[in-house]
């Protein structure tokens, strides 16, 4: 069951990848948000995204360029910080499925 929420104050995405098969390009991170990144270890990156006032749901919120097989990279967690200060775990779809905004 999905639930609609207001535009959150911040969303944290954790991306896990096989460092032997994936090369990420965090300097060219783009999308509809102000972004900062952390590299807690060699095979994870955390993207802190503060969404623009209005999000165009037909486009990606963040785009992280990478090279390698898409089977070796995964958005492993996404947590929205709501305006009231509470956290909301977000459902994660597969990046293996091509969507209209990921072509």
Task: Say how many domains are in the chain.
Answer: 1
Residue 35 domain-assigned (yes or no): yes
50 within 8 A of 10, measured Cβ to Cβ: yes
| Residue 61, pLDDT score | 86
| Residue 43, pLDDT score | 93
Q: Say if residue 20's pLDDT is above 90.
A: yes
Q: Which domain holds residue 49?
A: 10-86
Q: How far is CA 95 from CA 9, 20, 46, 52, 73, in A?
A: 24, 19, 16, 23, 8
**Mean residue pLDDT across the chain:** 84
Residue 93 domain-assigned (yes or no): no
Residue 45 domain-assigned (yes or no): yes
Residue 4 domain-assigned (yes or no): no
Residue 1 domain-assigned (yes or no): no
Residue 82 domain-assigned (yes or no): yes
Share of the chain above pLDDT 90, in %: 50
> Is pLDDT larger for residue 3 or for residue 37?
37
Average pLDDT over residues 58-84: 90
Confidence of residue 100 (pLDDT cuts 50, 70, 90): very low
């Amino acid at each position: 069951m999905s639930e609609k929420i207001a535009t959150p104050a911040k969303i944290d995405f954790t991306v896990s990848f096989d460092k032997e098969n994936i090369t990420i390009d965090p300097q060219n991170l783009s999308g509809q948000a102000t972004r900062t990144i952390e590299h807690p270890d060699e095979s994870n990156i955390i993207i802190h995204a503060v969404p623009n006032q209005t999000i165009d749901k037909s486009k990606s919120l963040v785009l992280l360029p990478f090279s390698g097989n898409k089977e070796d990279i995964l958005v492993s967690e996404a947590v929205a910080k709501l305006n009231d200060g509470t956290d909301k775990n977000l459902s994660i779809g597969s990046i293996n499925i091509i969507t209209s905004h990921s072509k």
